[in-house]
Amino acid sequence: MKSKLLLGMLLVLALCISAAALFLLSYQKTLRVSIHPWPGYESLRLAEHFSWLPDKVEVVESDNATQSMALLRSGAVSAATLTLDEAILLKGEGLDVSVVAIMNESIGADVVISRTSSNELTNIKGMRIALEGNTVSNIVLRELLIETGLSVHDVSLSYLPPNEQVRQWQSERFDLAITYEPFATYLERLGGTRVFDSGHFPNVIFDVLVIRNDAMWLRGQVLTNLLAGHFRALEYIRVNREDALRRIAAWRELTYDEIGVAFNGLYLPDLHFNKRMLNDRAQFFEAMKQDRDMQGIKLSEAQLHSLLQPAYLYRIQ
């Protein structure tokens, strides 16, 4: 009797283990991708909207890049859309990640918003500037100070992510905000004025798709299909721009004209451009080295090169 009971218990245990293994196997095949509000990432939302992403992809929306990075570090997501400097920071921390695609180049979508009614840069000496404090916001700050002939000692800095800048605008804790779309438009609605943007310094700010390498090896085909969905959405934006932007404007609670301004500040590289940039690397690598050096990260050039993994671009049918 005892042996039969033991056999039955072992059978139940084996079934439970098998069920758990199947669940884990299914979970491992799901690629969770974190995005946060930024027009250069809307291709993934658009692809999801049109069911162009594979079933095993889940798009997770966070409030800002800091949250997306935390999710990636913890393993709660397998991939995230981030700026190039953030990808380098993660690599420098020892996280085993790769850049598999360039999402966009900022040519005006990173913005300085002022409380003044004039859209011309005036003397900002002594002003309080709110910024996120990451490398991109520091690049914008650096270029702003060069433009105005000032140093960082001539201004006062307050560290606030863009979503908090919007929430605290009415408190008048800062005079200028270094931000990005769509938050720049939200601040304009509250009375702010654009005085400077990344159009003044092209070939510097890039956004990329970053993936944990453990997930990349396990879910390679899913990643390939995710990239295919992204590029299909970019083509839709190019060919059916008005329809695409109206859809994006609706879920970001912007007008068509407002979302148009946001997208005018971006270059959205297609598959061909991605292959060229991630293989021929010269121009892109200069931006990588600048991001590394600004953050004081100890990564060799070989380690920077190893961050770029364009192989999955060539698997897209």
Measured distance CA(32)–CA(186) in Å, rounded? 28
Segments of the chain scoring below 70 in pLDDT: 1-29, 119
pLDDT in tens, 109-133: 999 999 987 767 878 999 999 999 8
- How does strand 31-35 pair with strand 57-61? parallel
What's residue 20's pLDDT?
A: 41
Q: How far is CA 244 from the centre of its chain?
A: 20
What's residue 25's pLDDT?
Answer: 37
Note the pLDDT of residue 7.
Answer: 55
Cβ proximity of 109 and 197 under 8 Å: yes
Amino acid 11: pLDDT: 58
Domains of the chain: 19-107+205-315 (3.40.190.10), 110-200 (3.40.190.10)
Residue 20, CB-side half-sphere exposure with 13 Å CA sphere:
6
pTM (two decimals) = 0.85
